[in-house]
Amino acid sequence: MTDHPVRIGVLVSGGGTNLQALINSQKKGELKSGKIELVISNRSDAYALKRAEKAGIRAEIVSKKKLGSSEAFEDRIRSLLDENKIDIIVLAGFMAILSEDFTRAYPKRILNIHPSLIPSFCGKGYYGLHVHEAALEYGVKVTGATVHFVNEIPDGGEIIMQKAVAVHEGDTPEVLQKRVMRLAEWKILPAAVEKVCAEYASK
């Protein structure tokens, strides 16, 4: 058993609707085995930062451009995670690939949400709207979302949860993205984080 509540750090880059789903789940008492203690954004203009602020969560900006290298970028993130004693890291729309060094430091402690049913439409180059563009181009009739542990292979870690979503005739990437978020991502991300935190707490 850990001797403290599980501390969650969320890494974001954009709108932060998945971060919001985690905040809402925590407010409802569904996400209860861990607490969001820190949000880190690699972009200063991410709306996710406003969501963190509104919820009273400490938020930090870490810019690769400003720091000058990937090493300095990851070092800064690691220091913030250490300083804030973060146990579980959630990539919620975090659009930077983390190095093998980084992912090795947190085995089974980093989760990622990906907007497709892995192993379809995942890996390098598949992020955000591109994933839905690729799904529509291929012509799949079912897509969805996946929460998985992060290891050194992009989108290659162990799957924790998945949910399927139907593709409709005439869908645009934007329409499909919204449906996948609403029907899958915002549900399975909080559920998977709760599951992992509960397991972590009982260790």
Quote the least distance from Cβ 202 to ligand GAR, whole Å: 28
Quote the least distance from Cβ 93 to ligand GAR, whole Å: 3
Q: For the chain, where are the E strands, in sequence order?
A: 6-12, 34-41, 58-61, 88-91, 110-114, 142-149, 159-166
User: Which residues would be at the binding site for ligand GAR (CB under 6 A)?
Assistant: 12, 14-18, 48, 92-93, 113-115, 127-128, 131, 181, 185
Quote the least distance from Cβ 72 to ligand GAR, whole Å: 23
Residue 186 near residue 15, CB atoms below 8 Å: no
Residue 38 near residue 9, CB atoms below 8 Å: yes
The residue (of 81 and 113) whose beta carbon lies closer to ligand GAR is 113
How far apart are alpha carbons 48 and 16 in whole angstroms?
Answer: 4
Quote the least distance from Cβ 21 to ligand GAR, whole Å: 8
Catalytic positions, please? 114
Helix (H) or strand (E) holding 178: helix 173-180
Q: 191 phi and psi, to 5 degrees? A: -65, -40
The residue (of 16 and 157) whose beta carbon lies closer to ligand GAR is 16
Per-residue tokens: 164: 């399927």
The residue (of 82 and 137) whose beta carbon lies closer to ligand GAR is 137
The residue (of 179 and 195) whose beta carbon lies closer to ligand GAR is 179
Helix (H) or strand (E) holding 20: helix 17-28
Closest residue to bound ligand GAR by CB: 93
